[in-house]
Each structure stands twice: as structure tokens, then as C-alpha cells.
Amino acid sequence: MKRITILIADDEMAIADLIGLHLTKEGYHVIKAADGQEAIQAVQTHSIDLAILDIMMPKVDGYEVTRQIRETNHMPIIFLSAKTSDMDKIAGLVRGADDYMTKPFNPMELIARVNAQLRRSRLLSQSSEENRPVLETGGLAIYPDQRTVTLYSEPVDLTPKEFDILYLLASYPKKVFSAENIFQQVWGEDYYEGGNTVMVHIRKLRKKLQEDERKHKLIKTVWGVGYTFNG
């Protein structure tokens, strides 16, 4: 059985060593990077299953590392940051992270979040093997097995969370999902002030789907309730 490999990218080596110690005790294989450039090289040369990234790193920051990872890989990414405001957390999630923890943090909570993200990733991988049908409507085509989307045959570049939200809504057309429903099903976590996070993702998703130019909106807001796919 393949051993799970986790990348820790943080220029504070004491923190990286602490996280690595706990992950190794859990049975994971750990690779460490001291800056963003080393993190990118590690992803290119190793089979990484999950990445823990500090945001403020030398050479290349965590946001850019995430952008480059997301060009080819859907591995779970957890941000670590000293930035603690809600807007900082939302910005991290919107940029492609799956979770966000602020420093200082409890190492055991981080391990629990790593385990949760890996479980969710395995479930998504298993479900993708079921040959789910392509969803098509109004020039939009969603390919769940490949996790890709096209609009009038042109590819649409979505983050993993944007894809998950779109696929969830499109799988149940006309059903109204509250922000809480979406957060719980897409992020796989209990809802705690996740409404703004969902709203920001929906806004970016609408922009990428060129909703402003459409008379027939694909994603409809049901005021006071939530969102529905209007396919």
C-alpha cells in the first residue's frame, strides 16, 4: 500500500519540524521545504498527497505556490498563517486552499484537519471512479470524472472548490441550497461563519461562467434562502 506523503513548506523550521514529528508519528511520509521555490520543486519531483503551506514564505509565497499546484493537481492544501482576520481566511480559501489555520496552532488540531482532508480526498477519488454522467445545459458542460468544465466548448478554469460548488448545484437543478448546506457539503466541515466564504466563491464562479452576459442565469440567488442551479 502506498505511503501517504505530505509536504510541509514553512521558513520557520522549528514549526516545520514540530509538524513533521507529529505527522511521522501518524505514519505519514514527510517532505519539508524552507521556501516557496523548494515547495514547487518538491511537488514537481515527488508524488505529494497533501500540502501544508505557510503563506508568507521567501522567494515564492504560499498563494503563488497554490496557483502553480492547482494548474495540474487537486491535492488538499492547508494554509498556515499569522494572519487571523476573517477576510484573510476567505482570501486563502478563495485562492485555492482547502483549509486555513492561524498561528499559533494546536498541532493535534492540525493533524485532525489533515486526516479529515485526506478522507475527503479519498471519497472524491472513489466517487470519480463511478463514471458519473456529463452534465450539459445552456452551453455549459461539466465533466465530473475529469473535474473539468467547458462553456461553449471553451475550457473554464475553476478552482477545486468552485468546481465542487458548481457540480453540487448542477446535480440537483431547481433545488435550493443554503450557504450552510453548500459549506458543509463542499468543505466537509461544520458551518461556522462560512456564509461569506460561500458568497465569495459563488461570485467568482458567476464571473467565470460569464453570468453578467447571460439573460438566462445559471446560478440563481433565492433571497433569504440560498442558491439554486437554473439549468
> Would you call 91 helix, strand, or coil by DSSP?
helix
pLDDT at residue 157, as a whole number: 92
In the sheet that 226-229 helps form, which strands lie side by side, from edge to edge? 176-177, 226-229, 219-222
With beta carbons less than 8 A apart as the criterion, state whether 142 and 134 touch.
yes
132 in the Ramachandran plot: left (φ > 0), alpha (ψ -120 to 50) or beta? beta
With beta carbons less than 8 A apart as the criterion, state whether 100 and 79 touch.
yes
pLDDT at residue 20, as a whole number: 95
Sign of the torsion angle spanned by Cα atoms 86, 87, 91, 94 = positive
Whether this model's pTM surpasses 0.85: no
Mean pLDDT for the chain overall: 87
With beta carbons less than 8 A apart as the criterion, state whether 122 and 115 touch.
no
Q: Give average pLDDT by consecutive 10-residue segment, the chain, 231 residues.
A: 85 94 93 95 89 93 91 88 79 86 91 90 64 83 90 91 92 88 78 73 93 85 90 71
With beta carbons less than 8 A apart as the criterion, state whether 183 and 226 touch.
no
Helix-strand-coil split of the chain, %, nearest 5: 45, 20, 35
Which residue has cell 493533524?
111
pLDDT at residue 212, as a whole number: 83
pLDDT at residue 190, as a whole number: 61
Which residue has cell 481566511?
89
| Integer Cα distance of 161 and 146 in angstroms | 14
User: If 0-12 CB within 10 Å is exposed, 13-18 middle and 19+ buried, where does residue 148 land?
Assistant: middle
**pLDDT tens digit sequence for 81-104:** 887 777 878 888 888 889 999 888
| Integer Cα distance of 132 and 16 in angstroms | 39
Report the 10 Å Cβ neighbour count for 109: 10
pLDDT at residue 204, as a whole number: 92
Instruction: Tell me the β-bridge partners of 102.
Output: 81
C-alpha to C-alpha distances, 86 to 23, 93, 171, 228, nearest whole angstrom = 27, 11, 30, 26
pLDDT at residue 154, as a whole number: 92
Cis bond upstream, residue 104 (ω within 30): yes
pLDDT at residue 35, as a whole number: 95
| Integer Cα distance of 126 and 123 in angstroms | 5
pLDDT at residue 52, as a whole number: 97
In the sheet that 135-137 helps form, which strands lie side by side, from edge to edge? 135-137, 140-143, 148-151, 154-156
